[in-house]
Amino acid sequence: MKKIKLALLIILSVIILAGCGKSAKEEFFDYTKKNVTENSSNDISMTVKDIKLTADMKDSPEANVMVTQLKDIKVTGSMQHDVSEKATNTKLNIEALGQKIPLEFISKNDDMYFSLDIFRGISKIASQFNSELPSDEKTLSAFDGKYLKLSDADTLEIDSKSATNLTKKFQKEVSNYFTSLDEERFTKENDVVTFKLTKKDVVVLAEKFNTLSKSKKEYKEFVIPDFDEMIKNLPKALDAKFNLNTKTNDLAVALTSTFDKKDEGFIDSIEVLYNYKPNDKQVAIKLPAKKEIVNVKEIEAILAPYLSDELDEELDEELDEELDEELDEELDEELDEELDEELDEELDGDFNMADDEFKELVKELEKEDFSSFSAAESDELLEEYEPLLTEKQYKTIEKIFKNK
């Protein structure tokens, strides 16, 4: 939770920097100042532009399927800011794994509300992975149209007044830091101002945040534990390129993360695009009615039957593990083999890749050169793909390998 708070504070603080003037640098900060001193409404979107696999994983069927699914993730929505009411409303629609998930935040002064309509979409996605999240209509409808008040002490377990004071001080630190940057880091061509944020900037800002958190007793709950370890675990490279059109006020942000080989992940780098475009949809921001607001205890009560069943299942699993350990090694191996065979039979033909996902996978494979592959190597790759595909999809993949 504290890492999430830090990331949000840094990103939001970069967006709300203040400044004035006519240089490329000052034009960039003119835009950010305008967004917090005047009413605004923007359409926003996020897409995954590119994902590169590590050299040892680019031929992995499982990794390629995962990449295809990640590339299909899209976020669209709007963000509205009412200065006089000190209120904001952010509405997003997340498209992932064939589902559309609504996400909404409403805030006014120090109060923030989170829409629970998201639960229905999450439950549908979880069911694809055989999760036991509740999916019955009675439980799901109990969350429809409801909001969780995030500023309640029993929700985030933080002092909202201290959080507000710390945020204001941190924003001032961020503003001072960016004001001190060299003019050369801000360039302008035609109407577009370009600025690049680097990993070094992120680390400096993180250090400033942690120093502020340690400066007063009231901020101690925001001090990041294992701070050095957290910085060490950041991606090898982290670059954010901001392109601001000073004529239209459109802002495009390209965030690229490059990972170290020692992280042992399957992704070498990922590039995500964010776009902010002004619109004329400014309407009054409406806070949730009292009857629409629920607290954590009410949510726990709704989920109580599910949580009870889950606990019973965990206890059963622990008991099964203890019994398995007492079995003779030979019997245990036989049992494992039987379970593996049953699992393979269950998986065969049950995985139905969506047509659009499969088309993306085909595009990726067609870019590769398999001409140097021996017949045995091609057959081995086909065997790996077979459990993941329908018969028709498999024949298409087979043709790609055989024709290369």
Buried b (16+ CB within 10 A) or exposed e, 241-279: ebebebeeebbbbbbbbbbeeeeeebbbbbbbbbbbbee
User: Bigger pLDDT: 359 or 315?
Assistant: 359
pLDDT in tens, 121-144: 888 777 766 666 666 788 888 888
Closest CA to 48 of 66, 79, 73, 67: 73
pLDDT for residue 2 is more than 50 = no
pLDDT in tens, 305-354: 766 554 445 545 555 565 555 554 554 555 555 555 554 554 444 455 67
The distance in angstroms from the start CA to the end CA of the chain is 49
Average pLDDT rounded to a whole number, residues 98-114: 86
- What is the structure's pLDDT at 369? 67
- What is the structure's pLDDT at 343? 45
**C-alpha 354: how far from its chain's center?**
22
Residues 59/70, Cβ–Cβ less than 8 Å: no
- What is the structure's pLDDT at 349? 45
pLDDT for residue 243 is more than 90 = yes
Work out the pLDDT band at 394, boundaries 50, 70, 90: confident
Q: Percentages helix, strand, coil for the chain, rounded to the nearest 5?
A: 50, 25, 25
Work out the pLDDT band at 13, boundaries 50, 70, 90: low
- What is the structure's pLDDT at 296? 82
pLDDT in tens, 248-268: 989 999 999 999 877 667 889
pLDDT for residue 206 is more than 60 = yes
- What is the structure's pLDDT at 288? 92
Average pLDDT rounded to a whole number, residues 3-30: 56
pLDDT for residue 190 is more than 60 = yes
- What is the structure's pLDDT at 158? 61
pTM of the predicted model as reported, rounded to 2 decimal places: 0.66
Distance (Å, whole) CA 398 – CA 381: 9
> Cβ of 81: how many Cβ atoms within 10 Å?
21
Q: How many CA atoms lie within 13 A of 56 on its CB side?
A: 5
pLDDT in tens, 271-307: 999 999 998 877 788 999 999 998 888 887 877 776 6
